[in-house]
Amino acid sequence: MADQTIAIDAGPRPETSSTFVQIAVLAGLAATGTLATNILLPSLPQMAASLNVTSAAVTSAITIFLAVFALGQLVVGPISDRYGRRWPVLIGFAVFFAGSVWCGLATDLPGLLTGRIIQAAGACATSVLSRAIARDMFSGAALARAMALIMIAMAAAPGFSPLLGGALDHYFGWRSEFALVAGFAGLGALAYGSVFGETHHATRTPLDPLAIAKNYLGLITDRRFVVPATTVSLIMGGLFAMFSAAPRVLIEAMQFTPIQLGLFFAGTVMIVFAAGMLATKLAPRYGLDRSIRGGLWAAAAGGIAILLVSLYWPSFLPFLGAMCVFLLGMGIVNPLGTAQALSPFGDRAGAASALVGFFQMMSAAIGVWLAATISHQALFALGVVLTVFSLVAFGLYTLRAKTG
């Protein structure tokens, strides 16, 4: 297939020290949204008590953030294709900083939700443009390696942030979590402004609503984009379902403590890190198509294994083993599938990256909702979501290969 050559073309290799710093900054951009999403999880009961609302009501701070985060990317992408990446990123950091301060000072739930909307409006810019900037700078196998490192940061943020958030809440109160993410935004803006100039040197796309709609429609109807983008989004939806269901599985069903839960989340990062490193080795040797299919096999096997564990061996070690297999597959599919979706569209990298981000966040929202509603047994519900999402992703990608 023609797409398979993406993995071995002669793009620049991100191996110099300066390029490593650039990728590290891009990873920080990508992690902004997921850090702000998951750091609050251990503090939801304390936030509810402080704001005099129920725990169910305060979880809307997560839901509204994801909704604005998903939709905002569709706006930021075309803006960056018209005006460049640098100023949208810096403005995004400033907006995120302001929203974080607003949340930290909130005295009621409407004030908190307003701050979360502002936060998400800024975070969507930094997240979507981290991928677009990577596409501006790299191509081929180099782009796949850069995406792997960015993906590791996106997985590390939700992995470590609950543990960090729990510690901050214990010693300083829940408002300190917003102070931390505000400081993260400030440091991120300084790092980005110091390391990067403008990276978008392709033809600028006019900022016209009809042209933007036509651009998005063109991407959605282009099999080179929509199949890998949807494949990645389904697997990411499974990842977010795992993060949302894990507290119910481990604390309620397996009697873990909150600290043990935080350590579990942190441990998942090691699996994702190893998978991301493996992806950077697989793509140049086997090509994107074969590597992605291998990752999808692993994700599907892990999802099915979790479903079987829920039915026959509902204990921690079998659950951990099955989850590691799923995470291994996810860590391979995510960076390589994202690189494959973006590679053909250098002149529309902002819009393509925005659409990938929108797909991922919508799939995450659906996965979280399904994992919470399919069954009162959290492990069974998670197994169903991971199995269905991974099998659909595998079938969709296989159909692409057969029709390509």
Q: What is the pLDDT of residue 330?
A: 93
Predicted confidence at residue 283, as pLDDT, reads 82
C-alpha gyration radius of the chain: 20
- State both tokens at 288: 């994107």
Residues above pLDDT 70, as percent of the chain: 91
Closest C-alpha among 104, 110, 105, 79 to residue 92? 79
Residues 6+ apart with CB under 8 A from 142: 11, 12, 13, 14
Residue 222: Cβ within 10 Å count: 15
- Residue 226 pLDDT exceeds 50: yes
* pLDDT computed for residue 177 by the predictor: 94
CA dihedral 335, 92, 186, 139 (to 10 degrees): 30
**Confidence bin at 12 (pLDDT 50/70/90):** very low
- Report the C-alpha gap between 69 and 92 in whole angstroms: 12
Write out pLDDT tens, residues 318-341. Answer: 999 999 999 999 989 988 998 888
- 111-156 pLDDT, tens per residue? 999 999 999 999 988 888 888 888 888 877 777 777 777 766 666 6
pLDDT at res. 4: 43
Smallest Cα–Cα separation from 62: which of 90, 89, 75, 43? 43
Residue 358: pLDDT over 70: yes
- The 10 Å Cβ neighbour count of residue 354 is 32
What is the pLDDT of the chain when averaged over all its residues? 84
User: For residue 96, what are its two tokens?
Assistant: 């995120």
Q: Report percent pLDDT > 90 for the chain.
A: 34
Cα 249 to Cα 258: distance, rounded to the nearest angstrom: 12
The CA distance from 120 to 367, in Å, is 20
- pLDDT tier at 393, thresholds 50, 70, 90: very high
- For 278-298, the pLDDT digits (tens) are 888 888 888 888 999 999 999
Residue predicted with more confidence, 57 or 94: 94
Distances (CA, A) of 66 to 63, 119, 171: 5, 11, 28
How far apart, in Å, are the Cα atoms of 266 and each of 45, 300, 384?
Answer: 21, 23, 24
Q: What is the Cα–Cα distance from 326 to 213, expressed in whole angstroms? A: 35
Tally Cβ neighbours within 10 Å of residue 202.
14
Distance (Å, rounded) from C-alpha 396 to C-alpha 336? 16
pLDDT reported for residue 13: 45
Instruction: Quickly list H helices, 173-257.
Output: 175-195, 209-220, 223-246
Angle between helices 223-246 and 209-220 (to 10 degrees): 80
φ/ψ of 233, rounded to 5, equals: -65, -40
159-218 tens-digit pLDDT: 778 888 878 888 899 999 999 999 999 999 999 999 988 888 777 766 778 888 888 899
CA-based diameter of the chain, in Å?
Answer: 59
pTM: 0.75
Are residues 241 and 388 in contact, defined by beta-carbon separation less than 8 angstroms?
A: no
What does the pLDDT read at residue 54? Answer: 78
pLDDT of residue 402 exceeding 70: no
The position carrying tokens 């940061």 is 153
**Six-digit token string for 344:** 């053909």
State residue 17's pLDDT score.
67
Quickly tell me which residue has 């979706």 as its tokens. Answer: 341
Exposure on the CB side of residue 292, measured as CA atoms within 13 A: 31
Handedness of CA 297, 303, 307, 308 (dihedral sign): positive
Range 5-19 average pLDDT = 49
pLDDT at 93: 96
Interior CA angle at 93 toward 90 and 97, to 5°? 145
More confident residue, 350 or 178: 178
Domains of the chain: 2-403 (1.20.1250.20)
Which range of 41-55, 75-89, 90-104 scores highest in mean pLDDT? It is 90-104
Q: Answer for the pair 268, 155: CB distance below 8 angstroms, yes or no.
A: yes
